[in-house]
């Protein structure tokens, strides 16, 4: 996926703590980032009590180390296979000025695998579930895609501006599902006051995105699936400030634009080709929380569209 980006750009976009576009103001800039030289692994062990989390992270790191070793053994700078090879080249060529250790490589890959691709896959699963449960809206999405794309080719990114309802459906599912219901834990590096609340130094701060996305002051009938709330009277997508599936501030998700592109291409391709129906009349969608809010297993029937 990253083979076409320049090595330095690829690395910087994955690494940069301030890489995400600053679309939503300066929320949370008072909150701390990791200290220089401190890793997520240390942050987890100091802020999460569960042995379970440490054990699972331990497995993940062990697996990543194996992968990196395997890639190192079979690495050929003349034929880069993927992002891991790009990273190895970046280090080998000295472009990193000696800054990256093997431990850093583990963390970059962990960030991508853990923070990135799972959240996208989980969002797509929610999308499929909501489409199965909302046949009327799914029908409208099919109509919109057919009118803009036709039946002879798959949707492409150029179609995106002409598919407002499809976009609105993706936003509404991201709001309802809130797959990252709490942002990454942050720690205050100095005492601060927010809306009259004293937050002392060294407080662990968890931002409740799920709460914000289900707050009736901002979203009338918050638990209703209503994609039209993201469309203005001219049927143009309007994204309010209180919608933040990717977080906000300096640690906002740096993969936002990639995730948006992936979600759009996968979702529109699926809708172009298939109709999702509940496999059982009493199908329900419920979330189960680990580090992501995933839908509990559900069954849908899919039919090929003509």
Q: What residue ranges bind ligand HEM (CB under 6 A)?
A: 17, 111-112, 115-116, 119-120, 123, 179-180, 183-184, 245-247, 249, 251-255, 258-259
Q: Shortest approach of ligand HEM to residue 22 CB, angstroms?
A: 12
- Rounded CA separation 34/49 (Å): 18
Burial class (CB in 10 A: 0-12, 13-18, 19+), 209: buried
Q: Shortest approach of ligand HEM to residue 304 CB, angstroms?
A: 27
Q: Shortest approach of ligand HEM to residue 79 CB, angstroms?
A: 23
Q: Shortest approach of ligand HEM to residue 281 CB, angstroms?
A: 30
Residue pair 87/105 in contact (Cβ under 8 Å)? The answer is yes
Residues 227-247 as b/e (b if ≥16 CB within 10 A, e otherwise) read bebbbeeeeebeeeeebbbbb
Residue placing its CB nearer to ligand HEM in the complex, 227 or 275: 227
Q: Which among 249, 251, 226, 261 has a CA at the least distance from the CA of 23?
A: 249
Q: Shortest approach of ligand HEM to residue 87 CB, angstroms?
A: 13
Residue placing its CB nearer to ligand HEM in the complex, 91 or 258: 258
Kindly write down the DSSP assignment for every residue of 88-132, as one continuous string: HHHHHTTTTTT---HHHHHHHHHIIIIIIIHHHHHHHHHHHHHHH
- Rounded CA separation 122/183 (Å): 16
What count of other Cβ atoms lies within 10 Å of the Cβ of residue 152? Answer: 5
Would the annotation count 48 as a binding residue? no
Provide the H-helix boundaries in 178-285. 209-213, 256-273
Residue placing its CB nearer to ligand HEM in the complex, 122 or 275: 122
Residue placing its CB nearer to ligand HEM in the complex, 17 or 139: 17
Angle at Cα 131 formed by Cα 208 and Cα 283, nearest 5°?
A: 85
Q: Strand pairing of 287-289 and 274-278?
A: unpaired
Determine the residue with CB nearest ligand HEM: 255
Q: Shortest approach of ligand HEM to residue 297 CB, angstroms?
A: 20
Residue placing its CB nearer to ligand HEM in the complex, 84 or 123: 123
Residue placing its CB nearer to ligand HEM in the complex, 104 or 111: 111
Q: Report the binding-site residues for heme.
A: 253
Q: Report the binding-site residues.
A: 253
């Amino acid at each position: 996926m990253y083979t076409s980006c320049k090595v330095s750009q690829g690395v910087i976009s994955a690494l940069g703590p301030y890489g995400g576009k600053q679309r939503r103001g300066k929320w949370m800039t008072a909150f701390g980032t990791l200290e220089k030289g401190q890793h997520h692994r240390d942050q987890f062990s100091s802020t999460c009590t569960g042995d379970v989390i440490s054990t699972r992270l331990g497995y993940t790191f062990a697996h990543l180390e194996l992968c990196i070793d395997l890639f190192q053994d079979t690495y050929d700078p003349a034929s880069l296979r993927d992002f891991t090879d790009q990273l190895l080249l970046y280090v080998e060529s000295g472009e990193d000025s000696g800054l990256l250790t093997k431990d850093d490589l583990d963390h970059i890959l962990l960030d991508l695998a853990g923070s990135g691709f799972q959240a996208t896959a989980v969002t797509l699963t929610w999308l499929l579930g909501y489409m199965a449960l909302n046949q009327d809206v799914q029908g409208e999405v099919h109509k919109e895609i057919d009118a803009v794309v036709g039946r002879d080719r798959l949707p492409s990114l150029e179609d995106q501006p002409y598919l407002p309802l499809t976009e609105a459906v993706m936003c509404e599912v991201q709001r309802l599902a809130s797959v990252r219901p709490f942002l990454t834990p942050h720690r205050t590096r100095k005492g601060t006051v927010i809306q009259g609340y004293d937050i002392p130094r060294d407080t662990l701060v968890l931002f409740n995105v799920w709460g914000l996305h289900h707050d009736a002051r901002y979203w009338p009938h918050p638990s209703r699936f209503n994609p039209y709330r993201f469309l203005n009277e001219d049927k143009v997508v309007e994204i309010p400030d209180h919608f933040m599936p990717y977080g906000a501030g300096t640690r906002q998700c740096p993969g936002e634009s990639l995730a948006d592109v992936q979600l759009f291409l996968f979702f529109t391709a699926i809708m172009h080709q298939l109709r999702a129906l509940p496999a059982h009349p009493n199908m329900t969608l419920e979330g189960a929380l680990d580090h992501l809010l995933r839908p509990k297993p559900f069954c849908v029937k899919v039919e090929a569209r003509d």
